[in-house]
Chain A
Amino acid sequence: MTARTETLLWLAQRASAAVLAFAVVVHLATIVYAVRAGLNAAEIIARLQGHAGWLVFYGVFVAAAAVHAPLGLRTVLAETTPLRGALLDILVVAFGLMLAILGWRAAFGLFAFGSD
């Protein structure tokens, strides 16, 4: 991997961390607000169903997590296991894609709930 690519990956992790810092605060505040009268599915669906604003928010949140987590995992694995090089890169890219697909599927599922 070239010095430029590694530098841009480092930047991507820092930039995604900045997005996550905002998104996690909103997410935690929403949790506190949402459970004030107990947690129930109907209330969650009522808040998210058909709401484009929440869909965009969770879409961005998932994207940031899917970029940030694999890059961090790549560093942790490189420092603590013999994994290196292409195999490690393939593993963490697969992990990132899994996070993105599962996250976006959940976000879109709640947005479009009951529409089919």
Chain B
Amino acid sequence: MNTALDVAVWRGAEQGRFVSYVVPLRENQTVLDIVTYIQRHLDSTLSYRFSCRVGMCGSCAMTVNGVPRWTCRTHVRRVATNSRLEIAPLRNMKVVKDLSVDMTGFFDKWARAGGAFAPQKTHSKDFAVVQPDSRARRQADAGIECIGCGVCYAACDLVSWNADYLGPAALNRAWTLVNDVRDGARAQRLAAVAGDAGCHACHSHQSCVQWCPMELNPTSAIAGLKRATVGAALKGAL
């Protein structure tokens, strides 16, 4: 059995190269453990991003052997091929340095897609009553656990072809708010997500569904937005 792993790590920014490191193999080792080992023991100049280490914060996503993954919950034994790993920054985002990417564009698109909740009530009004088994609440529930890791955005070919495309995460967020009965900005949000840079650009490749670490289905959310925007357009409300 191999006791070491051959790890190629992207070094540099947009221009750079893969540098090889040899890392000892351990039981129950995650890809984030590998990167941390390299930074702590082999090369302290390696830049990467992580926070919670338990799959909640969405900070540590990287491209592992060509696939976008949350590295803190990706076990090495599940993804290493012939004791080799290739670790690169996420696709579709500008590389700041090594494995850290600039997520500004990714999160700006959440804002452009109307990702902020728009309350209708003031503090003087009573709480809204949302039935847990209502159709809208169940549809919102299906997408609400997004951790904003950017895996879907990196996996999406549409994002790489159309820089303006809002992307699966922002559209998924918009769909949860369209289904939030407390929200007061439905019309503006549907207008924001319609069109060639929004939900209608999606080809339903479902790469986002394939690789979302939370096992969400942004393609389904986008299909919901397509239906909702068409309904609004036909009623003249878009």
* Chain A residues packing against B (C-beta within 8 Å): 1, 3-4, 6-8, 10-11, 75, 78-80
Out of B162, B194, B226, B230, name the residue touching A78 (CB < 8 Å): B162
Closest to A76 in B: B161
Contacts A10-B226, A11-B233, A79-B162; is A4 near B200 (CB within 8 Å)? no
Asked whether any CB of chain A lies closer than 8 Å to the CB of B229, the reply is yes
Out of B158, B161, B192, B195, name the residue touching A7 (CB < 8 Å): B195
CB <8 Å contact, B196 and A6: yes
Q: Which residues of A contact B226 (CB under 8 A)?
A: 10
How many angstroms between the C-alpha atoms of A6 and B191 in the bound complex?
10
How many angstroms between the C-alpha atoms of A110 and B203 in the bound complex?
38
Asked whether any CB of chain A lies closer than 8 Å to the CB of B238, the reply is yes
A-B contact pairs, 20 of them (CB 8 A): A3-B190, A3-B194, A3-B233, A3-B238, A4-B191, A4-B194, A4-B233, A6-B194, A6-B195, A6-B196, A6-B200, A7-B194, A7-B200, A7-B238, A11-B230, A11-B234, A75-B196, A78-B162, A79-B161, A80-B161
**Shortest 4 CB-CB contacts between residues of A and residues of B:** A6-B195, A3-B194, A7-B233, A79-B161
How many angstroms between the C-alpha atoms of A79 and B197 in the bound complex?
11
Q: Which residues of B contact A80 (CB under 8 A)?
A: 161
Q: Give the secondary structure class of B's interface.
A: helix
Q: Which residues of B contact A11 (CB under 8 A)?
A: 230, 233-234
User: Number of B residues whose C-beta is below 8 Å from A?
Assistant: 20
Q: Which residues of B contact A75 (CB under 8 A)?
A: 196, 201
CB <8 Å contact, B230 and A10: yes
How many angstroms between the C-alpha atoms of A79 and B158 in the bound complex?
8
Kindly supply a per-residue 1/0 record for chain B positions 190-214, scoring 1 wherever the CB is within 8 Å of any chain A CB and 0 otherwise.
Answer: 1110111010110000000000000
CB <8 Å contact, B230 and A3: no
Q: Which residues of B contact A6 (CB under 8 A)?
A: 194-196, 200
How many angstroms between the C-alpha atoms of A7 and B228 in the bound complex?
10
CB <8 Å contact, B200 and A10: yes
How many angstroms between the C-alpha atoms of A30 and B161 in the bound complex?
39
> Which among A1, A3, A6, A78 has the greatest number of chain B C-beta atoms within 10 A?
A3
Closest to B198 in A: A3
CB <8 Å contact, B196 and A7: no
How far in angstroms is the closest Cβ of chain A from B62?
A: 26
**Contact residues of B between 62 and 85, Cβ < 8 Å to A:** none
How many angstroms between the C-alpha atoms of A49 and B37 in the bound complex?
79
Closest to A6 in B: B195
> Which among B191, B192, B196, B226 has the greatest number of chain A C-beta atoms within 10 A?
B196
